[in-house]
Structure 1
Amino acid sequence: MKYTTEIIIEKPLEEVIKKMDSVDNMKHWQEGLASTEHISGTPGEFGAKMKLNYDFGKRKMELIETITKQNFPNEFHATYTTKGVRNIQQNYFEQIADNQTKWICKNEFEPTNFMMNAMLFLMPSAFKKQTKKYMTNFKNFVENGTSVYNA
């Protein structure tokens, strides 16, 4: 399944990227993020791997992020792997005005088991909704300092 989501952030590109390029900031816009752990490579650079642990109450999830392209301030691409699915994500950032940045997020989800294949087929809107939620949370964090951490 492939889809693209866009959002306009009312801040300059430089400020958006400064907030995006920080592991410490992830908890402020990725709801459920419980912890991060560097695995290998130079953090934030091509080839680096990091474990992301999420806690959604009764549901826990572990993702492995592998950076596939880091060309800030314009691009950041990564692959996220967890049980049953791989998400190939391409993020593009573009300053469209002095105080406006467009974030374009392209996602491709590849199921690795039958159950996830069924979920992607039956509930594609759930994945799109989650992407939009994280992007909106990030926008609110950059523009207003609003954090979802311990909310």
Structure 2
Amino acid sequence: MKYTTEIILDLPREEVIRKLDNPDNMKHWQRGLINYEMLEGIPGKEGSKMKLEYKMGKRDMVLTETITKNNFPEEFHANYDTKGVHNVQRNYFHEIEGNKTKWVSESEFEFGGFGMKLMSWLMPGAFKKQSQKYLNDFKNFAENGTSVKDET
């Protein structure tokens, strides 16, 4: 399954990247993130791996992020793996007129196991909706300082 989401941020690209490239900021725009831990490599560098732990309702989820390309401020790509799911993320950051930034996120999911394949077939819009929510939450954090961490 493949799809693209995008958002316009009312901030210069350098400021967007500065906020995005700080792992301590993830808790402010990634709902459910409860912990992150470097596993190997140099943080932010290609080949580095980080464990991300989320609480999604009653479900716990652990992902491993592997950075595949870091060419900030233009692009950032990473793979996210958890049981039965491999997600490839390609993110592009375009400067646009008026000191704004267009963030284009390409998502590709590969599913192992019948349950995940069935869910992706029955509810493909749920994946895109979640991806767009992360972009919207980042925009609210980056532009207004609004943190999802403070929500109950």
TM-score band, normalised by shorter chain? over 0.9
Greater CA drift, 66-75 or 90-99: 90-99
Match for residue 70 of structure 1? 70
Structure 1 residues 89-128: aligned runs within 5 Å:
89-128=89-128
- How far, CA to CA, are the matches of 1:56 and 1:107 in structure 2? 20
Match for residue 29 of structure 2? 29
Report the Cα offset of residue 124 of structure 1. 0.3
Percent identity over the alignment is 61
**Would you say how many aligned residue pairs link Structure 1 and Structure 2?**
151
- How far, CA to CA, are the matches of 2:27 and 2:112 in structure 1? 27
- How far, CA to CA, are the matches of 2:56 and 2:123 in structure 1? 18
Backbone CA RMSD of aligned residues: 0.7
Report the Cα offset of residue 28 of structure 1. 0.2
Match for residue 87 of structure 1? 87
Q: Could you list the per-position Cα deviations for residues 33-72 of structure 1 after superposition, in whole angstroms to 9, with x for gaps in the alignment?
A: 0000100011100000000000123110000000000000
Is the partner of 2:149 in helix, strand or coil? coil
- How far, CA to CA, are the matches of 1:84 and 1:25 in structure 2? 28
Is the partner of 1:45 in helix, strand or coil? coil
Letter in 2 for 1:128: K
Runs of 4+ in 1 over 4 A off after TM superposition: none
Match for residue 19 of structure 2? 19
Is the partner of 1:146 in helix, strand or coil? coil
Report the Cα offset of residue 114 of structure 1. 1.2
Q: Could you list the per-position Cα deviations for residues 120-150 of structure 1 after superposition, in whole angstroms to 9, with x for gaps in the alignment?
A: 1110011000000000000011110100013
Instruction: State the TM-score, normalized to the length of structure 1.
Output: 0.98
Structure 1 residues 27-66: aligned runs within 5 Å:
27-66=27-66
Match for residue 138 of structure 1? 138
- How far, CA to CA, are the matches of 2:133 and 2:45 in structure 1? 26
Report the Cα offset of residue 112 of structure 1. 1.5
Letter in 2 for 1:99: N
Is the partner of 1:38 in helix, strand or coil? strand
- How far, CA to CA, are the matches of 2:11 and 2:33 in structure 1? 24
